[in-house]
Structure 1
Amino acid sequence: MFEQQKKSYTVQEIKRKLEQYCVYQDRCHKEVEQKMRDYQLIPEAREQILLSLLQDNFLNEERFAKSFARGKFRIKNWGKQRIIRELKFKDISAYNIKTALKEIDETAYIETIYRITQNRNSVITESNHYKRKKKLIDFLLRKGFENDLIYKVVEEVVT
């Protein structure tokens, strides 16, 4: 039938598009490189644009890791393990992951795990004490909290 013709862009146009992509929301290198692959750029142009984005501070891995950790904790109530796993998946360096985790306030972290455990406990209809605990533990593990913290909180909440 009809073959869709891909619109071709100049390197400057793509650079501007990627700058807007990075301004809209902090991005990691992996996301920007994927976007460049979508535009089917030659390697030289890719390097030139990436270098330009880094120099003009549109692309900053540390800033991305910090805002990612803050956002996922505050909005989605993720635990540190889940945040670490997701950042590793996005190829963020160990140093930046460690820096990002410092963005999470320890008291807020503890308050959050207690709050979501109590909320979840009130929703679970299971009457068997052990099955209820298991469901809570599984839920908190999926959220990415640490094992020792989970067991401590579940013991206190489920009585």
Structure 2
Amino acid sequence: MAIKSKKTKTKTASTAKANRERKEKKILLEKHKDIARIDQESKRTHGWYVRVRFKGTTHSKFFSDGKCGGRYSSLLAALAWRNEIEATLGKIRTDKHIVTVSHTTTGVVGVRFNEKLHRYEVSWVDSQGKQGKTSVSIVKHGKQIALAKACQIRKEKEAERLVA
């Protein structure tokens, strides 16, 4: 039966502590979608601000370092709250930025009407971040069918990006 020395226990404990500190530092240095660090010395405000936008509404909450027990604990609380809110709202959890604000006359994000060339133009961003574009002719298909085809293409490309 081997007896562990006090020195070995101390070494193991210090190694575990060092590993835990490395993990904490890594999480603190990573970027987290919808979470921003607030450090305002003049107002003595330190913590993480979470802002989740979905279907036109914004849900936000501030996680103070003082109330949560430190910088790392407040970040973990902020991450947990963000994930919980997204699940409650039905928002898909992803670190990719998904743009859903439409400034288009068609009412569909990524589909625009080109009056000059008589076509609907479809644009998207693939899973590697590269932009893609195609168009559907109104002369060839008619206005309603061309719009329907353009919307279908956009929907397929968006689904491909979210799956990848």
TM-score (norm 2): 0.31
- Using CA pairs under 8 Å that are at least 6 residues apart, name the structure with larger relative contact order, 1 or 2: 1
Where is the strand percentage greater, Structure 1 or Structure 2?
A: 2
TM-score, normalisation: structure 1: 0.32
More helix by share: 1
